[in-house]
Structure 1
Amino acid sequence: MKQIIFNIILWSSCLSAYSQTQEQKDSIKKVELNEFVVSGNKFEERKKNVTQRIEVVSSKEMAQMNAQTTADVLTNTGQVFVQKSQQGGGSPVIRGFEAARIQLNVDGIRMNNAIYRTGHLHNIITMDNNSLERLEVLYGPASTIHGSDALGGVILLKTRDPKHGKAKKMELTGTNALLRYSTINQEKTVNVGITFGNKNFAALTNLTFSNFGDMVQGKNGVDSIMDLWKKKFVVERINGVDTVVPNSDPFKQISSGYSQFDLMQKFSIRSSQKIRHMINLQLSNSTDVPRYDRLSEQSNGLPRSAQWYYGPQFRTLAAYEFNARNLNGFFNDISATISHQFVEESRHNRSFKSANLNHRVERIHVSGFNVAVRHKDDINEITIGTDAQLNSLKSVAEIENINTGEVSKLDTRYPDGKNNMNLFGLYYQHILKLMDGKLVMNDGIRFNYTSLHSMIIDTSILFRLPFTDLSQRNRALTGNIGLAYMPDDELRFNINFSSGFRSPNFDDMTKVFESVSGQRLIVPNTDLKPEETRNVDLGIRYNDGIVDINVYGFYTHFVNAIVSDVYTFNGSDSILYDGVLTPVFASQNKAKAFVYGGGFQFIYRPTMRLSFNASMNYTYGRYNNDTILVPLDHVPPVIGRFGIKYEEEHFYGEIFSIFNGRKKLQDYSPGGEDNLQYATPQ
Structure 2
Amino acid sequence: MKKFIVPMLLSAAAGAQPGDRLEEVQVTAGRIEQAVSDVSTAVTVIDADEIRSQAPAISTDLLRGVPGAFVQQTTPGQGVPIVRGLKGSEVLHLVDGFRLNNALFRNAPNQYVALVDARSLARLEVVRGPAPALYGSDAMGGVVQMVTELPQLDIEPALSGRAVFDYQTADEALTGHLTVSQGGRRAAMLASATYQDVGDRRVGGGAEPGNSAYTSRAGRAVFVARPDDRHDLMLDLQYLRQPGTPRFDELVAGFGQDQPASAVFSFEPNDRLFLHARHQWHEVGGFIDELETHLGYQVMHDDRRTRDTGSTSLRRERNKSELIGLTVQAQSRTGIHQLTYGAEIYADEVSSSRTATDINSGTTESIRSRFPTGSTMDSIAFYINDSFALGSRLDIDVGARYSQFDISLPPADRPIGTDVDVDDLTGDLGLIYEIQPNLSLVANIGRGFRAPNIFDLGTLGPRPGNRFNIGNPNLGPEEVLTTDVGFKWSSATVVAEAVVWQADYRDKIDSVPTGGIDESGRTIVQSRNTAELDLWGIESGLRYRSGDGRFGVEGVINYTRGEQTDADGFSQPGDRIPPLNGLLAVSYGLSPEIGVDAAVRFAADQERISDRDAGDPRIDPNGTAGWAVFDLGLQWQVSAALDARLWLDNVMDKRYREHASGIDAPGRSLGLSLSASF
User: TM range, normalised to the smaller chain?
Assistant: 0.7 to 0.9
Q: Deviations over 1:444-500 (max 9, x none)?
A: 0000000111112334xxxxxxx4221110111110111101233211110111121
Contact 1:513 1:523 in 2 (8 A): no
2:630 alignment partner in structure 1? none
> Match of 1:602?
542
Aligned to 1:49: 38
**Cα-to-partner distance string for 1:283-322 (whole Å, 9 max, x where unaligned):** 0001210111111127985554321111121100001100
How many residue pairs match? The answer is 600
1:402 is displaced (CA, Å) by 3.2
Q: Does the 8 Å contact 1:64/1:652 carry over to 2?
A: no
Match of 1:326 among 283, 296, 313: 283
Task: Provide the C-alpha distance between the structure 2 equivalents of 1:653 and 1:616, rounded to a whole number of angstroms.
Answer: 23
What SS is found at the alignment partner of 1:115?
coil
SS for the counterpart of 2:481 is: strand
| Deviation at residue 377 of structure 1 after TM alignment | 5.2
Deviation at 1:143, TM superposition (A): 2.0
Superposition deviation, residue 122 in structure 1: 2.0
Q: TM-score by structure 2 length?
A: 0.83
Would the alpha carbon gap of residues 166 and 390 (structure 1) be closer, same or farther in structure 2, given more than 3 Å must change? same
- CA offsets 1:124-175 (integer angstroms, 9 cap, x no match): 11111211111100000112111211010010111011111204xx421x31
2:87 & 2:469 partners in 1: Cα distance? Answer: 26
What residue in structure 1 maps to residue 272 of structure 2? 315
- The answer for the alignment partner of 2:616 in structure 1 is 675
Which structure is higher in RCO with an 8 Å CA cutoff and minimum separation 6?
2
Aligned to 2:659: none
1:429 and 2:420 are equivalent in the alignment: no
Counterpart of 1:536 in structure 2: which amino acid?
A: T
SS in 2 for 1:668: coil
Instruction: Report the counterpart of residue 561 of structure 2 in structure 1.
Output: 620
Q: Secondary structure at the match of 2:320?
A: strand
Given candidates 420, 425, 432, the residue that maps to 2:376 is 420
Q: Which amino acid aligns with 1:216?
A: R
Q: Matches of residues 169-568 of structure 1 in structure 2 within 5 Å?
A: 170-172=157-159, 174-219=160-205, 251-297=207-253, 301-376=258-333, 379-415=336-372, 417-436=373-392, 438-459=393-414, 467-511=415-459, 522=470, 524-526=472-474, 528-564=475-511
Please tell me the residue identity of whatever aligns with 2:564.
Y
Letter in 1 for 2:296: S
Alpha carbons 1:668, 1:674 under 8 Å: kept: no
User: If the length of structure 1 is used for normalisation, what is the TM-score?
Assistant: 0.83
User: Contact 2:609/2:621 (CA < 8 Å) preserved in 1?
Assistant: no
The equivalent residue for 2:671 is none
1:301/1:530 CA distance change after superposition, 3 Å: closer
Deviations 1:511-534 (A, max 9, x none): 15789xxx99955333x3211111
For 2:257 and 2:53, how far apart are their aligned partners in 1?
Answer: 47
Per-residue CA deviation, residues 240-295 of structure 1 (Å, 9 max, x unaligned), is: xxxxxxxxxx7113120100011111001112112111101100001210111111
Contact 2:313 2:359 survives alignment (8 Å)? yes
Greater mean alpha carbon deviation, residues 156-165 or residues 398-407: 398-407
Q: CA deviation at 1:378?
A: 6.1
Q: Is the 8 A contact 2:44 2:66 kept in 1?
A: no
Task: Name the stretch that deviates more: 292-301 or 672-681.
Answer: 672-681
Contact 1:78/1:641 (CA < 8 Å) preserved in 2?
no
Q: Give the secondary-structure state (helix, strand or coil) at the position aligned to 1:97.
A: coil
AA paired with 1:630?
Q
Question: Alpha-carbon deviation of 1:329?
Answer: 2.4
Q: Distance in 2 between matches of 1:513 and 1:293?
A: 17
Instruction: Give the fraction of aligned pairs with identical amino acids, expressed as a percent.
Output: 24
CA contact (8 A) 1:49 1:431 kept: no
RMSD: 2.8
With over 3 angstroms needed to count, the CA separation of the structure-2 counterparts of 1:451 and 1:165, relative to structure 1, is same
Residue aligning to 1:243: none
Is the alpha carbon distance of 1:82 and 1:355 closer, same or farther for their aligned partners in structure 2, counting shifts above 3 Å?
A: same
Check conservation: 1:633, 1:673, Cα contact below 8 A.
Answer: no
CA–CA distance in structure 2, aligned partners of residues 544 and 503 of structure 1: 41
- Distance between the aligned counterparts of 2:442 and 2:358, measured in 1? 61
Contact 1:42 1:372 in 2 (8 A): no
Q: Which AA in structure 2 matches 1:640?
A: G
| CA contact 1:40–1:52 (8 Å) conserved in 2 | yes
SS of 1:252 mapped into structure 2: coil
Q: Secondary structure at the match of 1:313?
A: strand
The 3-state SS of whatever aligns with 1:412 is coil
Aligned-partner Cα distance in 2 for 1:302–1:673: 17
Contact kept? 1:297, 1:305, Cα under 8 Å: no
Q: Partner of 2:588 in structure 1?
A: 646
CA contact (8 A) 2:67 2:539 kept: no
Separation in 1, partners of 2:328, 2:101? 18
Q: Which residue of 1 aligns with 2:69?
A: 80
Indicate if the aligned counterparts of 2:355 and 2:365 stay in contact, CA closer than 8 A.
yes
Contact 1:36 1:45 in 2 (8 A): yes
Secondary structure at 2:41's aligned position in 1? coil
Indicate the residue corresponding to 1:236 in structure 2. none
Q: Tell me which residue corresponds to 1:247.
A: none
**Are the equivalent residues in 2 in contact too, given 1:79–1:639 (CA < 8 A)?**
no
User: Shift of the alpha carbon at 1:57?
Assistant: 0.7
Following superposition, the deviation at residue 585 of structure 1 comes to: 7.9
Q: CA–CA distance in 2 between the matches of 1:341 and 1:45? A: 28
Rounded to whole Å, the distance in 1 between the matches of 2:167 and 2:403 is 47
Write the deviation string for residues 49-102 of structure 1: whole angstroms up to 9, x where unpaired.
321111111001111222222111112536421111111211110011000100
Please tell me the residue identity of whatever aligns with 1:601.
Answer: G
1:658 aligns with 2:645: no
* Aligned AA (1:670): D
Give the Å deviation of 1:440.
Answer: 0.8
Q: 2:370 corresponds to which letter in structure 1?
A: R
Distance 1:529 1:182, change over 3 A: same
Supply the distance in 1 between the matched residues of 2:98 and 2:66 (Cα, whole angstroms). Answer: 24
What secondary structure, in the 3-state scheme, does the structure 2 residue paired with 1:311 have?
Answer: strand
| Paired amino acid for 2:561 | Y
* Aligned-residue offset at 1:586: 5.5
Amino acid paired to 2:492: G
Matched AA of 1:381: Q
Does 2:151 align with 1:162?
Answer: yes
Runs of at least 5 residues in structure 1 that lack an aligned partner in the other structure: 1-19, 220-249, 460-466, 568-573
Q: Deviations over 1:181-233 (max 9, x none)?
A: 111110111111011121111101111101101100001xxxxxxxxxxxxxx
The answer to whether the 8 Å contact 1:102/1:152 transfers is: yes
Q: 2:126 aligns with which of 137, 151, 154?
A: 137
